[in-house]
Amino acid sequence: MLDVILLLSLGMFIISITMSIYRIIVGPTIPDRMLALDVVSYALTVVMGIIAVISGSPYLIVISFSLALWFFIGALYVARYMEGEQIGD
């Protein structure tokens, strides 16, 4: 039962990633594209976590957490850049 739920959630996240990639390509403004890129990055992190649970590999969970932290830091830098502030101020 748990395997079915994990596979269904994996499929839903993959659909979410493909819809967000469409928004990255078509997005009318830069903030729309950046938000879609954020969604893709965090959805990929969750997909890695689901794959780690399915395969039973604890290393993938550690890698997905570290990637989520890097994605968060990158989103902060992009937000500061879009506001026109210098990084480090």
Specify if 88 maps to a domain. no
Specify if 27 maps to a domain. yes
Parent domain of 52: 2-83
Taking the complete model, does pTM exceed 0.75, yes or no?
Answer: yes
In this structure, the chain runs to a length of 89
Specify if 89 maps to a domain. no
**Who's near 7: CB < 8 A, 6+ residues apart?**
54
Specify if 30 maps to a domain. yes
If one counts the domains in the chain, the total is 1
CA distance 6 to 28: 34
Specify if 50 maps to a domain. yes
CB count within 10 Å of CB 28 equals: 8
CB half-sphere exposure, 50, CA atoms < 13 A:
19
pLDDT tens for each residue of the chain, 89 residues long: 888 999 999 999 999 999 999 999 998 888 888 889 999 999 999 999 999 999 998 899 999 989 999 989 988 888 888 787 666 65
Specify if 75 maps to a domain. yes
